[in-house]
Amino acid sequence: MSYLSLIFAPIILSIFIYFFTKQTNNAKYIALALFTFMLYMSINIYMHLPETGYLLLSSFLHVEAFDFNLVLQVDRLSVIMLILTSVLLILVGLSSWSIEKQSAYFSLLIFFCGAIFGVFMSTNLMWFFIFWELTLIPMYFLIGIWGAEGRIYAAVKFFLYTHVASMLILLSFFLIYKQSGTFDMTLIKSGVLTTPALIWWLLFIGFSVKMPLFPFHTWLPDAHVQAPAPISVLLAGVLLKMGAYAMIRMLILILPLQAQKYAWAILLLGLISLLYAGFMALYETHLKKMVAYSSISHMGLVAIGISTLSYDGLSAGVYEMIGHAFIISPLFLIAGFLHHKTGSWQMRDMGGIMQRVPYISAIFVLAGLGALGLPGTMGFIGELSILLSAIGKYGVWLIVILLGSMLSAAYLIWTFRRVIYGEMSEVVKITDFKMPKAEFLSLIIFSIFIILFGIYPQALFDIINQAFSAYATSGGAL
Amino acid sequence: MNIPIIILIFLPFIGSVFTFIVGKIYKKSAFICAYIISIILFSLTVYICISFTQALSFDLEWFSFGNITLPFGIYIDELSLVMLLIATGLGALDIHFSHDYMADERDQARYYSKVLFFIGGMILLVSAKEMLGLFVGWEFMGLASYLLISFWHQNSSPADAGVSAFLYTKFGDIFLFASLGIIFYTTGTLDMIKLNELSSSGEINSQVAYVVSIFIFIAAIGKSGQFPLFPWLMRAMEGPTTVSALIHGATMVNSGIYIVARMFDFYVAAEALVVVAAVASLSAFIGATSALVQNEMKKVLAYSTMSHLSLAFIGLGAGSLAAGMTHLINHAIFKALLFLGAGAVILSAHHVKDLWRLGGLKNRLILVSIFMGMGVLSLSGIPIFSGFYSKDAIIASTLLNPETHGLISTLTIIAALLSIAYAGRLWTLIFVGKPRDEELHVSIKAPSKFWISLPLGVMATLTLALGVFQKELAEFITAEKYHELHVNGLFTFMMGVILVLGLIIYYFYVRRTDLRDKISAQPLMKSIHQILFNGYYIEMMINWFAKSIIVNAVAKSINWVEKNIVDAFINGVVTVTHLSFTFLKHTHSAKVSNQSGAMMLGLMMIVATVLIRSFL
């Protein structure tokens, strides 16, 4: 019961918080305290996890006739996601310190927090789906209200696109229920299913949209561009990870036989995304769109890691997921900051930012170097581990990873040249760059993570390896 | 693991951060801090060198994921030690020199911390046991080089130069990254010593070994500025001269040769050395000919660096590890000397780099002219200076090796002889003749003896001393008896060539400048001059390829596909959906933004209900 409140307390409280803090404007303190508490609870759950398998947290709403049991069960993979989510939420909270209409904004964030915890904690497919959809509502409003000029288009596109995908997911959940008689994902045996291939493909498309993989990615650049910078962080750091998480959880752990058969599809889309988005980013002159395409490109790398279906590849993929969250976030935050101050998205209007705000520029460069996979950052570890885990299986195909690496170096270094270095543009000369301290703090924390886990990745891999150790011992047939 | 090595590896990085913080608080302290750290590093290296008995090897683990464990070992043998001495010794001298050279710089903290970071990368590279550690050091140096080239980032051209340095070397790096993956997959180890043994005993598939060695060599091409990835090295001259001396003359550019030397047995077994020699001989020729016509003194030095690194590669490629490595070390010292000498001239001449505005500085910069003269003699391969002996050995080994005998050895000899011409031209144009810019000439003052001339003197002495101890050096590096290779009569031949070339240079550049101008005004000479001056237009070709093919053709068409196919399809769906809501929209007066969310939810519920009905 108590764990149930981790999900429902934020969802319900968010409404009250909105009304209570409307006058006083201190929603951010409440939100930050709550996110910290969530982090504490996630770590707490991690401490109590058994060596392998699930930890049953609570079971609720038991209905005999219909498997609508809200079962909260977590394993290491989901706890990793919980910890990542709560850390990112804290940082998102910090980086939206001076946003307008705070009470609404932060209550939506709190609502989102509850819903996303539901996604990662519930093992009943119905409830999983409900929470999956619930995350969209705060996201929709966060983009639609606090976004930039074209926010309505972006929000609707985001909402519709992910919804259509969700329909496919829902359809396959019903198929699963019809064929196996249960919604509980820990009980589903792929052998019982009569049309596992259909289910696999439906889920695959559904999750590819979320992840996003080519050609289902077009909602993302628009959503990112229009979303306020902290929400971009949330999109890239949490929402995309939902897709990857669900892919590992359902496509690989629940339907291992089909995964073996169709893993080429994940690989193919991963490879295409990596290159395609890399080229898109290379041609892009819109700063935030460039970062968004770079984000897609890195999710392609995650897909390649996952598609190996091996112990190594899954660990590497999850590491890259976390690395991507920490690396891409400061890029989004700084891109948003520069737009906020200069009023332009175009790189040609910027230039010489380093001369005005050296430390923020340095963090941008650091995160960019992380994205292009420089040793000493998380990006390198992710790229290296994915290369090493996949090279045995895919061989020559991994030329794409190398090309992607070259492309990311090209567009990022060229972006540094256009935005950070060089002579100051007219706009930059007259702009007053002043960043609130809390936002700067969040950037500092992001960069500490990038370097810390880049130099000492074992800290993360210790946790990640355990998450898949059961998978490893069973030889991929869990 | 012993303490000095731990300090040696970690101190530069910690020191780099520390220097930055301290330097931000009090500007002057950045130099003191960096200076002390660099001297500590050098003393530690000397200490390790003195107490060295056998190769030090430590196995450490970096991280493990899944079933894969990645090691990060330390291995210091004679080869690494020599490189360590070069890196830390020249690093300390360079920081010493920077005291005056960078005195006017506002942002000293940033400069010194980056230089220390660079030294750290170099130390990491040469003391790594596995290819992984080597790759990390390799990339660290690349980053430091990028940041230091664009040190004056507020100007466009250093910023551009940084971009091209990073991207050209990155192109090589991805091949090193690939070879790391291939090696790890095929052999399960990244230990370079073990790889040498494995390939010597024929346990590695020869095709794989060949591909890997070519890949590694491509990385070396990028880093060491060989054909065709050299243009970045010329651009890199935009950075501070101290940086050019340390990174683009003496240490980082050596790392490509170091990696081939480190995996020498691997290359021998893979039979890839002849490729190394062939590419290098072409680069040697390109570098030497282009150096002849440059107007900027740093560009002359950059092309000569390219040409001399090629000579070291040729030495390795011809099968003589000792010849290649001794040349590398000799080159590191005399090139650092020449770069710093050029730096002294630039500093005294108020940042004028154009050779045609200098001239006749001999009397004003007497010490600098003497030391640079010694560097020029060493670079030209004049006997008793170190450069002669290693060039001699390289030429001899190319002639002896049947694979390189012929075109490769001819190109090598041409490049070696041309070095006399361009080095002589450089020195002559700076120091003798009539001053070409009177106003500038009058304002030139001799630089500080302690901060500027002392490091030059140290290096000039070293380049003389190394000439005496060539054999010992070669034996130390290869740890075996060294059979000196000589070309019979090269000594007298060199003397003759020097005399002739010296007279020619003197005649055309000092005596009869009018005759020189007349010759160079010929159309044929003019076009040859243009080709050489622009480095055979290779940069232009690569840039054209990158810009026209990659960006404006491939990336642009993908951009078109994204807009007109992938996204248009989705937008079409949205439009259809939107149209179907138009009716509903009219019934509500509120905005779409407020309503569409609710409508979506309703729609979803209807669909869900239908689905549930049909499936249950």
- Is B65 in contact with A319 (Cβ distance < 8 A)? yes
- Using the structure block, give the residue that is written with the tokens 């990542």: A84
Q: Which residues in chain A touch residue B593, judged by CB atoms under 8 angstroms apart?
A: 144, 152, 155
Average pLDDT (B545-554) is: 87
Q: Do B156 and A405 touch (CB under 8 A)?
A: no
Compute φ and ψ for A71, nearest 5 degrees: -95, 125
Give the integer Cα–Cα distance in Å for A7 and A117.
6
pLDDT digits (tens, 9 = 90+) for B248-303: 888 899 999 999 999 998 998 888 898 999 999 999 999 999 998 888 889 999 99
Domain count across chain B: 2
Domain co-membership, B425 together with B547: no
Comparing CA positions, the residue from B324, B382, B610 lying closest to residue B498 is: B382
**Burial of A114 per CB tally in 10 Å (0-12, 13-18, 19+):** buried
**ipTM greater than cut 0.85:** yes
Residues B351 and B294: their CA atoms lie apart, in Å, by: 17
Beta bridge partners of A184: A124
Average pLDDT over residues A354-383: 92
B605 or B35, greater pLDDT: B35
Same domain, B557 and B478: no
Same domain, B394 and B485: yes
Q: Which of A122, A91, A124 is nearest to A109 (CA)?
A: A91
Range list of H helices, A135-195:
136-146, 151-180
**In this predicted structure, what is the pLDDT of residue A456?**
93
What distance in Å separates the CA atoms of residue A384 and residue B492, rounded to the nearest whole number? 54
Task: Pick the more confident residue, B462 or A473.
Answer: B462
Q: How far apart are the first and last CA of chain A?
A: 29
Instruction: Compare A63 and B546 and report the one with higher pLDDT.
Output: B546
Q: How far is CA B255 from CA A70, A129, A363, B250, in A?
A: 60, 55, 29, 10
Backbone angles phi, psi at B74, to 5 degrees: -115, 135
Contact B600 A219 (CB under 8 A): no
Same domain, B341 and B488: yes
Are B498 and B382 spatial neighbours (Cβ–Cβ below 8 Å)?
Answer: yes
Model confidence over B410-449: pLDDT tens digits? Answer: 898 888 888 888 888 888 888 887 787 777 777 888 888 8
Same domain, B501 and B549: no
Q: What is the pLDDT of residue B585?
A: 55
* DSSP structural state of residue B537: G
Tell me: do B495 and B555 sit in the same domain: no
d(CA B310, CA B407): 15
Look at B170 and A152 and tell me if their CB atoms are within 8 Å: no
pLDDT number for residue B52: 85
The answer to whether residue B356 is domain-embedded is yes
Q: Please tell me the least confidently modeled range out of A307-321, A383-397, A464-478, B463-477.
A: A464-478
Q: Residues 140-169, chain B: which have Cβ within 8 Å of A?
A: 140, 143, 146, 150, 153-156, 159-160, 162-163, 166-167
- Mean pLDDT over each residue of chain B, to the nearest integer: 85
Contact check, Cβ <8 Å, B136/A279: no
- Under a CB-based contact definition with an 8 Å cutoff, are residues B441 and B360 in contact? yes
CA distance to A226, A316, A426, per residue, from A337 (Å): 13, 32, 18
With a cut of 80, say whether residue A322 has pLDDT above it.
yes
A177/A185 Cα distance (integer angstroms) = 10
CB atoms B139 and A215 under 8 Å: no
Q: What is the dihedral angle through the alpha carbons of A200, A204, A206, A207, rounded to the nearest 10 degrees?
A: 130
Closest residue, chain B, to A170 (C-alpha)? B608
The C-alpha of B181 sits at a distance from chain A's nearest C-alpha, in angstroms, of 6
Looking at the fold, whether B504 and B564 belong to one and the same domain comes out as: no
Contacts of B299 (CB under 8 A, 6+ apart): B234, B237, B291
Structure tokens at A346: 């175009």
- The span from the CA of B303 to the CA of B286, in Å, is 8
- B485, B609: one domain: no
User: What contacts B492, CB < 8 A, 6 or more positions away?
Assistant: none
Neighbours of A21 (CB within 10 A): 20
Q: Per-residue pLDDT for A444 more than 80? A: yes
* Average pLDDT of chain A, as a whole number: 88
Q: What is the DSSP letter of B550?
A: I
- Evaluated on CA atoms B546, B547, B549, B550, the torsion sign reads positive
Q: Which residue of B has its CA nearest to A470?
A: B66
As a residue count, chain B comes to 616
CA distance A10 to B395: 78
Q: Would you kindly state where each structural domain of chain A is located, as residue ranges? A: 4-469
Q: Please judge whether A388 and B616 are an interchain contact, meaning their C-beta atoms are less than 8 angstroms apart.
A: no
CB atoms within 10 A of CB B344: 28
Percent of chain A's residues with pLDDT above 90: 42
CA distance A242 to A136: 12
Q: Which of B160, B82, B95, B171 is nearest to B127 (CA)?
A: B82
Q: What is the pLDDT of residue B114?
A: 93
Distances (CA, A) of B553 to A358, B457, B485, B560: 35, 54, 52, 10
Q: Which residues of B touch A140 (CB under 8 A)?
A: 597
A248, A282 contact by CB (below 8 A): no
Q: How confident is the model at residue A477 (pLDDT cuts 50, 70, 90)?
A: very low
- Does the pLDDT at position A207 exceed 80? yes
Q: Exposed, middle or buried, A419 (CB in 10 Å: 0-12/13-18/19+)?
A: buried
Nearest CA in chain A to B183: A388
**Contact state of B593 with A144 under an 8 Å Cβ cutoff:** yes
Domain limits for position B564? 539-615
Candidates B62, B65, B173: best to mutate against A (most CBs of A within 10 A) is: B65
Could you tell me if residue B171 is inside a domain?
no
User: How far is the C-alpha of B494 from the C-alpha of B535, rounded, in Å?
Assistant: 27
How far lies B524's CA from each of B528, B543, B553, in Å?
6, 26, 36
Chain A residues inside the 8 Å CB shell of B65? 312, 315-316, 319, 385, 389, 457, 461, 464-465
The SS3 of residue B130 is strand
Residue in chain B closest to A276 (alpha carbons) equals: B558
For residues A44 and A119, the answer to whether their CB atoms sit within 8 Å is no
Distance CA B485, CA B472 (A): 14
**Residue B494's closest CA among B343, B378, B325, B330?**
B378
What's the mean pLDDT in B155-166? Answer: 91
Cα–Cα distance between A287 and A427 in angstroms, integer? Answer: 15
Q: Answer yes or no: are the C-beta atoms of A68 and A419 closer than 8 Å.
A: no
Q: What is the pTM of this model?
A: 0.91
Rounded alpha-carbon distances, angstroms, from residue A79 to A75, A463, B57, B361, B533: 6, 10, 40, 72, 62
HEC string of B456-519? Answer: HHHHHHHHHHHHHCHHHHHHHHHCCCCCCCCCCCHHHHHHHHHHHHHHHHHHHHHHCHHHHHHH
- Beta-bridge mates of residue B354: B296
Residues B415 and B562 reside in one and the same domain? no
Instruction: Out of A63-72, A331-340, B267-276, B605-614, pick the least confident.
Output: B605-614
- Suggest the residue from A126, A199, A387 to mutate for an interface test with chain B (most B CBs closer than 10 A): A387
- Please give the helix or strand (H or E) that residue A70 lies within, else none: strand A70-74
Same domain, B444 and B559: no
Query: How many whole angstroms from its chain centre is CA B42?
Result: 21
Q: Which one, of B313, B533, B319, B292, lies nearest residue B423 by Cα?
A: B292
pLDDT digits 0-9 by tens, B104-157: 888 889 999 999 999 999 999 999 999 999 999 999 999 999 999 999 888 888
> Could you give the CA distance from residue A53 to residue A48 in angstroms, rounded to a whole number?
12
Residue where a domain stops, chosen among B489, B523, B557: B523
Q: Are residues B419 and B493 in the same domain?
A: yes
pLDDT in tens, A253-295: 888 888 888 989 999 999 999 999 999 999 999 999 999 999 9
Residue B303 pLDDT: 92
Residues of chain A in contact with residue B558, where contact means CB-CB under 8 angstroms, are: 276, 279-280, 283
CB contact under 8 A, A458 and B616: no
Query: Å from B140 to nearest chain A CA?
Result: 7
Q: Is residue B82 one of the residues assigned to a domain?
A: no
Give the amino acid at A310. S
Give the closest-approach CA distance of B348 to chain A in angstroms: 27
pLDDT tens by residue, B571-606:
777 677 667 666 555 555 455 555 566 666 666 666
Strand residue runs (E) in B20-90? 56-58, 61-65, 68-71, 74-76
Which tokens sit at B69?
């464990």
Place of tokens 């936002």: A439
Same domain, B481 and B585: no
